[in-house]
Amino acid sequence: MTKPYLALGLAGPHLVELTASQTLLSRWDALPLAFTVLGIDRIDGSAPAPVTLASSAVGATLSSATKYGRFFITAAPQRDHPYNIARRVASLAHLSGGRSGLLIGVRDTYAPEGPKDAPAWGGAGLGGGAPLSAQTAFDAARAVRALEQSWPHDSIIGNRETGILVESNRIVHVDINNSFSIAGPLNAPEPATGASVIAWHAATAADLPPVSADDPIDLVLGRAGTVPVVALGDEPPAGAFPGVVLRADFEQSVSDLLDVAERWLADGFAPVALGTPLRAALNLPAPGPLPTTARAAFPVPRPHVAL
C-alpha cells in the first residue's frame, strides 16, 4: 500500500511564531512535507485566536525566506472579493515558483460581518455583497481559477524582431455572472507553473462543495474529504488516504508540531520531494483551459519594428 504524505495545519498564533524565528523557518523548510495550511483556523469553524497574521502576507514571507516549503493560503469571500483573492494567489505562485495554493472557505472567522442580506465581502465596506454560503465560496473558487487562466503564461513571447512582447489577443475576459459579476481579465499573467491548486475544507458531508461540470476544486481536506485533518496528540487515522494534515491547537507550539512531524515522517509517512511545485508534489492533473469561445480583451498586436 502506498504511504500517505504528511501536511501541517497552522493556526493564527503559529503564523506569528513561525515568521518570528529563523530557526523554525529553517526546520520547516527542510521537512519533506506535502504542504502546510497557513491559518487553517480562518476557515475550519474555529473560534478566532488572540493573535494572527494575514495568510497571504505570511505566504509572501515564506516565498522569499524559504526555498522548498509548500503552502496553502486561506481565504473566504466573506472578507475578499474573488478578484482580489485571485491577484494574491497568482502573485504568490510567481513569488514561490508554484509552491503555493489556495484553501477556500465559506467563512473567515477573523472577518467582520457584512450586511445581513449580502454578507459575503460586504464586511470590507466595498459595497455589493452576496449570500454567505457554500455556493458563494464555490463561485469564488471558480472565479479565481478562471481569472488566473485569463492571461496565459505562454502569451508572453518577448519577440525582439517584431517588438511584440505579449500576444495580447490571447488575454481573455472571464465573463462570470453567478454570485459575482466579473468581466476580467486578471491584471497579472498566469504563473509559469500553471493555474494554482485550489483546495476546500469539509468537516462533514454537509460541508462538501457543490457539484459542477466546471469544478475548480483539486483537493478536499477534512474528515469528509480525501485528506483528513488530525489534531496534534492524536494517532494517525486508520484507513487508506493519499495524505494527512496534522494540525496544532492554539496552546501547542510550532516546535511541538515539527517534532511530531519529524517522527511521523521517519515512521510510516512518505517524504515529498523538496521544492517541487505544489501541483506536481500532489500529483494533481492540470486544470482544463478556458473555453476557446472566451472573448479577447485586446486586438491582435501589430509589430513595432523600431523596438
Residue 179: what pLDDT?
87
CA nearest 273: which of 119, 131, 67, 120?
A: 67
Q: pTM of the prediction? A: 0.94
Mean pLDDT is lowest, of 16-30, 117-131, 293-307, for 117-131
Is 90 exceeded by the pLDDT of residue 130? no
Is 70 exceeded by the pLDDT of residue 252? yes
Phi first, then psi: give them for residue 202, nearest 5 degrees: -140, 105
Sorted by where each begins, the domain ranges of the chain are 5-151+188-281
State the pLDDT confidence band at 70, using cuts at 50, 70 and 90.
Answer: very high
- Domain 5-151+188-281, classified CATH 3.20.20.30, yes or no: yes
State pLDDT tens for residues 185-198: 999 999 999 999 99
State the pLDDT confidence band at 76, using cuts at 50, 70 and 90.
Answer: very high
State pLDDT tens for residues 254-276: 999 999 999 999 998 999 999 99
Residue 103: what pLDDT?
98
Query: Per-residue pLDDT averaged across 22-51, rounded?
Result: 97
Is 90 exceeded by the pLDDT of residue 124? no
First-to-final CA distance of the chain: 59
